[in-house]
A = this chain, B = another copy of it.
Amino acid sequence: HLRVLVTGGAGFIGSHLVDRLMEEGHDVILLDSLFTGTKTNFKKWLGHPNFEWVRHDVTEPYYAEVDRIYHLACPASPVHYKYNAIKTLKTNFLGTMNMLGLAKRTGARFLLASTSEVYGDPEVHPQVEEYFGNVNCIGVRSCYDEGKRAAETMAFDYHRQHGVDIRVVRIFNTYGPRMVENDGRVVSNFVGQAIKGEPLTIYGDGLQTRSFCYCGDLIEGIVRMMESSHTGPFNLGNPGEFTMVELAEHVRRLMNKDVEIKYLPATPDDPMKRQPNIDKAMKYLDWEPKVSLEEGLKYMIEDFRTRIEARN
Contact mask A126-148 → B, CB, 8 Å, 1/0? 00000011111111101100110
Q: Is A89 an interface residue (CB 8 A)?
A: yes
A158 in contact (CB, < 8 A):
yes
Q: Is the CB of B161 within 8 A of A153?
A: no
A150 interface residue (CB < 8 Å to B): yes
This protein's copies in its complex = 2
Query: Is the Cβ of A138 less than 8 Å from the Cβ of B84?
Result: no
Cβ–Cβ < 8 Å partners of A158 in chain B: 86
Contact A134 B137 (CB under 8 A): no
Which residues of B have CB within 8 Å of A140? 160
Establish whether residues A157 and B233, one from each chain, have CB atoms under 8 Å apart when the complex forms: no
Give the distance in Å from the alpha carbon of A162 to the alpha carbon of B84 in the complex: 11
Determine if A149 and B132 form an interchain contact, defined as CB atoms under 8 angstroms apart.
no
A3 CB to closest chain B CB (Å) equals 25
Q: Does A234 contact B (CB under 8 A)?
A: no
Contact check: which of B134, B137, B168 meets A149 at CB < 8 Å? Answer: B137
Q: At the interface, yes or no: A285 with Cβ under 8 Å from chain B?
A: no
A85 at the interface (CB under 8 A from B): yes
Q: Does A190 contact B (CB under 8 A)?
A: no
Separation of A168 and B138 alpha carbons in the complex (Å): 10
Is A152 close to B, CB under 8 A?
yes
With contact pairs A136-B132, A137-B149, A149-B137 given, residues A154 and B118 touching in the complex (Cβ less than 8 Å): no
Given contacts A89-B150, A89-B153, contact A135 B132 (CB under 8 A): yes
A118: chain B residues at CB < 8 Å are 137
> Chain A 98-136 against B: per-residue CB contact (8 Å), 1 yes, 0 no?
000000000000000000001010000000000011111
Q: Are A150 and B93 in touch, CB under 8 angstroms?
A: yes
Residues of B within 8 A of A138 (CB): 152-153, 155-156, 168, 233
- Return chain B residues, CB-CB under 8 Å to A250: none
Contacts of A134 in B (CB 8 A): 132
Q: Taking A85-B160, A93-B93, A161-B86 as contacts, is the C-beta distance between A153 and B137 under 8 angstroms? A: yes
Q: Knowing A132-B135, A133-B137, A137-B118 are in contact, say whether A157-B85 is a contact too (CB < 8 A).
A: yes
A-B contact pairs, 18 of them (CB 8 A): A86-B162, A89-B154, A93-B150, A118-B137, A132-B135, A132-B136, A133-B135, A137-B150, A137-B152, A137-B153, A138-B155, A138-B168, A138-B233, A142-B157, A143-B153, A146-B146, A146-B153, A149-B150
5 pairs of A and B residues whose beta carbons are closest in the complex: A137-B149, A142-B153, A150-B150, A85-B157, A146-B153
